[in-house]
């Protein structure tokens, strides 16, 4: 298989689709890999490292796209990259199409086969390719929130852990999935007062059994979310419906009534965000203020710790890349129903029902489209 790894071009995105170790695994199996020059420079992987692993170095993204059939990336293709896609390509990356109609339409027009990391499943019903970055983002959410709470960054001037004689800051976590549970662990470790809301009682029981009276677990309803958010120093938005736009749990009116200088870290921003006031930001300009509430809505949070994130992501994606390269996309998808769950777009057809519902577009079940690949 001809495999391509372009350099990521999203603002302050230093992750890379394949590490030199992953490339070495693929070339040992007889595959040819093109890596765009300097693709890994930002996290200490040089062109020489990739060449030693058996890769060929391409001078530009255009050269990578021209030579490769399987493209392995991290973030969704930007407009200039989408212009290089064609029916011959299989794209394997994060897509997050539900809040992004422009990308959805351009991927459909390209004719490419597009498999989204975030909707690939496992036999337990989990999302194995989303989980590593969710773990990173959950841990980072508390770090980012603690920093934003400092007065110099527009926050309330609250230390999350407090000090003797002064109460700890109040952290509210909406959603107790991978992001929420990782954020919870970090917040508890800092000594914050933590409340976590979820609509899965089994999840709340598990967290209660682990943390006991160090946290408060609450069933998520409109009134419980409102009550907790209005009294919080830091709110972590970590709700997820796989493949679909995030539900809007925090209204404009609620933001107006939050504590002045409170912070909202909306980790759900990749799927549109869970607050009506949320909009994507970048690592270059990570925050903005609405009604005296600091919003941190960076759409690629794990990119800030790009080396850790790349290594963690490759641990999860490499077996799927090997399958796609060794079997071809059609056979790999036919033989693995969990990988098939990741198919979002194929040959001009939308194959993810949640994305179709978000944009009011027609779709076909993925298995019906396989014969066209």
Active site residues per annotation: 96, 270
Specify the DSSP element, H or E, that contains 198: strand 193-198
Specify the DSSP element, H or E, that contains 330: helix 329-335
CB burial class (10 A; 0-12, 13-18, 19+) of residue 166? exposed
Q: 10 Å Cβ neighbour count for 189? A: 11
- Please provide residue 265's backbone torsions phi and psi, each rounded to the nearest 5 degrees: -105, 105
> What is the C-alpha radius of gyration for the chain, rounded to an integer number of angstroms?
21
Compute the distance between CA of residue 212 and CA of residue 191 in angstroms, rounded to an integer: 14
Task: Please report, in angstroms and rounded to a whole number, the separation of the first and last CA atoms in the chain.
Answer: 16
Long-range contacts of 193-201 (CB under 8 A, 24+ apart): 193/167, 193/168, 193/169, 194/170, 195/170, 195/171, 195/228, 195/232, 196/172, 197/172, 197/173, 197/224, 197/225, 197/228, 200/176
User: How many residues are given for the chain?
Assistant: 373
CA distances from residue 34 to 72, 91, 115, 160, 171 in whole angstroms, order as listed: 10, 14, 20, 46, 45
DSSP for residue 163: B
Closest CA to 127 of 314, 270, 309, 339: 339
293-296 vs 287-290, strand pairing mode: antiparallel
Site of tokens 């079997």: 327
CB 29 within 8 A of CB 322: yes
Compute the distance between CA of residue 349 and CA of residue 113 in angstroms, rounded to an integer: 9
In the structure, how many helices (H) and strands (E) does the chain have? 15, 15
């Amino acid at each position: 298989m001809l495999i391509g790894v372009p350099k990521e071009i999203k603002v302050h995105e230093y992750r890379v689709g394949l590490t030199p170790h992953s490339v070495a695994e693929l070339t040992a199996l007889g595959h040819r890999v093109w890596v765009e020059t300097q693709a890994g420079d930002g996290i200490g992987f040089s062109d020489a490292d990739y060449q030693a692993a058996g890769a060929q170095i391409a001078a530009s993204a255009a050269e990578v796209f021209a030579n490769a059939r399987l493209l392995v990336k991290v973030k969704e293709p930007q407009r200039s990259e989408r212009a290089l896609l064609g029916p011959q390509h299989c794209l394997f990356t994060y897509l997050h199409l539900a809040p992004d109609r422009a990308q959805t339409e351009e991927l459909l027009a390209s004719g490419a086969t597009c498999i989204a990391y975030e909707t690939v499943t496992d036999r337990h019903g989990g999302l194995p390719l989303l989980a590593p970055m969710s773990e990173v983002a959950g841990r980072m959410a508390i770090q980012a929130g603690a920093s934003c709470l400092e007065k110099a960054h527009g926050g309330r001037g609250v230390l999350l852990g407090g000090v003797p004689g002064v109460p700890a800051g109040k952290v509210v976590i909406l959603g107790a999935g991978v992001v929420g549970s990782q954020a919870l662990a970090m917040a508890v470790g800092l000594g914050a007062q933590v409340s976590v809301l979820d609509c899965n009682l089994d999840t709340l029981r598990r967290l209660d059994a682990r943390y006991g009276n160090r946290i408060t677990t609450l069933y998520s309803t409109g009134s419980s979310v409102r009550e907790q958010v209005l009294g919080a120093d830091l709110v972590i938005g970590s709700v997820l419906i796989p493949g679909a736009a995030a539900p809007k749990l925090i209204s404009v009116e609620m933001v107006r009534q939050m504590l002045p200088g409170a912070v909202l870290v909306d980790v759900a921003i990749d799927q549109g965000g869970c607050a009506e006031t949320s909009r994507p930001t970048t690592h270059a300009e990570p925050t903005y203020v609405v009604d005296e509430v600091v919003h941190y809505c960076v759409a690629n949070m794990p990119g800030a710790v790009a080396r850790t994130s790349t290594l963690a992501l490759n641990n999860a994606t490499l077996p799927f890349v090997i399958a796609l390269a060794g079997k071809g996309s059609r056979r790999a998808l036919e033989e693995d129903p969990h990988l098939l769950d990741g198919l979002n777009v194929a040959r001009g057809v939308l194959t993810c029902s949640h994305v179709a519902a978000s944009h009011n577009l027609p779709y076909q079940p993925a298995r019906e489209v396989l014969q066209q690949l």
